[in-house]
Amino acid sequence: MATIDDLMSKVDSKFDLVHLAAKRAREINAYYAQLGEGLGQHVPPLLTTETNKPLSIALEEIAQGKVEGVEPSEETTEDPLAFIEGEGGDEPA
């Protein structure tokens, strides 16, 4: 099992670690849930480990560098609600 120091060297903050581990654990859990359906929509665990717990698998993947967090880009400076302004034509009074 990876130590907290190993994990913290892979991410910027504890918040990022918790967020990344939780997201990956949900993906692993969804993979196991859809196995019988044959959909193949989710990425399987990227390593073999002694445990079958999704969170433990996710933390091991992060420690080994197989999963990395991606910073959102700030290129989109557009207002996400701008499409609403163009619909009505009249502004509310």
Q: Is 39 inside any structural domain?
A: yes
Per-residue pLDDT tens digits for 37-49? 777 778 888 888 8
Whichever domain contains 17, its CATH number is 3.90.940.10
Range from 4-8, 17-21, 72-76 carrying the lowest mean pLDDT = 72-76
Number of domains in the chain: 1
Q: Quick check: is 52 in a domain?
A: yes
Report yes or no on 84 lying in a domain: no
45 within a domain of the structure (yes/no): yes
For every residue of 12-77, DSSP letters joined together read SSHHHHHHHHHHHHHHHHHHHHTGGGT---SPPPSS--S---HHHHHHHHHHTTSS---PPP----
Q: What is the domain extent for residue 61?
A: 4-69
Q: Give the model's pLDDT for residue 85.
A: 59
pTM for the complete prediction?
0.69
Structural domain contains residue 87: no
Q: In this structure, is residue 80 part of a structural domain?
A: no
